[in-house]
Amino acid sequence: MSAAVVAVDLGATSGRVMLGYVGHDELRLVPVARFPNNPVRIVDGLHWNILELYRNVTTGLASAVREEPDIRSIAVDSWAVDYALLRGDRMLGNPFHYRDDRNAAGVEATHALVEPAELYKANGLQFLPFNTVYQLAAERLAGSLDGADSMLLIPDLVNFWLTGASRAEQTNASTTGLLNVHGGCWDESLIERLGLPRGILPEIVTPGSTVGTLLPRVAAELGAPSSLAVSAVGSHDTASAVVAVPAADQDFAYISSGTWSLVGVELEHPVVSQAGREAGFTNEGGVDGRIRFLQNVSGLWLLSESVRTWERGGESIDLPTLIAQAAAVTTPVPVFDAGDARFVAPGDMPARIAAWCTERGLTPPASRAEFARSILESLAEAYARSLEAAAALSGTRIRVIHVVGGGSQNALLCQLTADRTGLPVLAGPMEATAIGNVLVQARAQGLVARDSSLEALRSIVAKTFLPVRYEPAAR
């Protein structure tokens, strides 16, 4: 007999609540709720509408309980780096969005105290101006940390509101820049040198552990028993997505493709060489102590932000039609640097791409279809460069690329990735993050063997979700 757990998966543009049924030779997801996740700009900057997000989470959880009363546990994952500051039970303000422009001062202040090379040796993180360590430095400069006694990353915040337990899940904590890359614990020396208050950082828990049970008032609101457990999983959404890579071969790379593209390989130990730092690679925590050695590459954000720009002009864009038109483009299109910092902030993406091309003497795309094709060609080229570097820096061999997440449904991008890397691409599952979330819960609840390895969990995915294979075009 199968049993159910609930995965709450919060992405940077949308969220979902999924029932996951796991049993002997069964792995099944049932969508319960989907909702948008739209930031809000107010006078002091760009924020997440976390209260609206939480309301949608609890509404979705209540629907899940009505649909399946026998739920074994709940777990939450989300995007990385962003957080709320609290004093006692009270949140001190809506969390800032990582694309807010306040972070530049935090970067400068951090590097004045700890040189970038030394920082990399300690935390193993690729330099990204929105890493939590830089956001907290900006808070310190503004005096915003003075009234706080805790900092909770987004999934930890939702868990706190559900259970009253203040914990930090390890895979997501690894994205803050404050976790020691070798020990998986808060780096006390680094935190002290950066002038950050150690007391705001909660106890770290690992995937598979229990955070707590539902607060009585939350249980009553959901119609659930107060004994219902809230579990820790790979609460960084990419950590959960990598669990669900249906890999039959050890020599694989992954691309978790969505708003961002997380491109890399899975290792047993971090790589913190100078070459790794200069190449922009990060060492993030994975489930079961694995290391996700990867680059954060700009993803389908480039396309979605372009579509938003065009729709602000009054036209409606059908994305599948646009992709089909892009696939039909036969004229050469420019390949631009998808990682250029100008493409991080919201705004007129087509104008920025055109400006990048013009500055380099390239002819910009002339139509929306050409812009879309240029974006996808540029992403595929970025993936190829990242994977070549990942293999060289880590000493691993890559035989196949697994693309999971929403981008696995983009056939043109998958084929271009195969063509530019010269490697087969296996696409799917689309809901990899929710699947990984469910499987780690299932293991903790004994719905699969409690000593199941990641490879055993992945074999369940491979039996259930048949990927689409893309072979590289003959050269």
Which sequence positions are flagged as catalytic? 237
Cβ atoms within 10 Å of 74's Cβ, excluding its own: 29
The one-letter code for the residue type at 371 is F
DSSP character string of 422-453: TS-EEE--TTHHHHHHHHHHHHHTTSS-TT--
> Taking the chain, what is the end-to-end CA distance rounded to the nearest angstrom?
50
Q: Quote the CA–CA distance of 421 and 251 in Å, as a whole number.
A: 15
| Residue 355 tokens, joined | 């400006």
**What residues contact residue 466 under an 8 Å CB cut-off, 6+ apart?**
428
CA distances to 58, 62, 227, 242, 372 from 224, in Å? 11, 8, 8, 30, 46
Contacts 24+ apart (CB under 8 A), 28-34: 28/2, 28/464, 29/431, 29/434, 29/435, 29/438, 30/67, 32/6, 32/60, 32/63, 32/64, 32/67, 33/59, 33/60, 33/63, 33/64
Complete edge-to-edge strand list for the sheet that includes strand 83-87:
90-91, 83-87, 150-153
**Side by side, which strands form the sheet with 260-267?**
282-285, 291-298, 260-267, 252-257, 400-404, 425-427, 468-470
Q: Helix or strand or coil: residue 46?
A: strand
- Residue 427 and residue 414 in contact, taking contact as beta carbons nearer than 8 Å: yes
Closest to 461 in 3D by CA, of 7, 91, 20, 5: 20
Cβ neighbour number for residue 173 with a 10 Å cutoff:
27
> Is 447 in contact with 3 (CB distance < 8 Å)?
yes
HSE-up (13 A, CA, CB side) for residue 448: 25
SS3 state at 455: helix
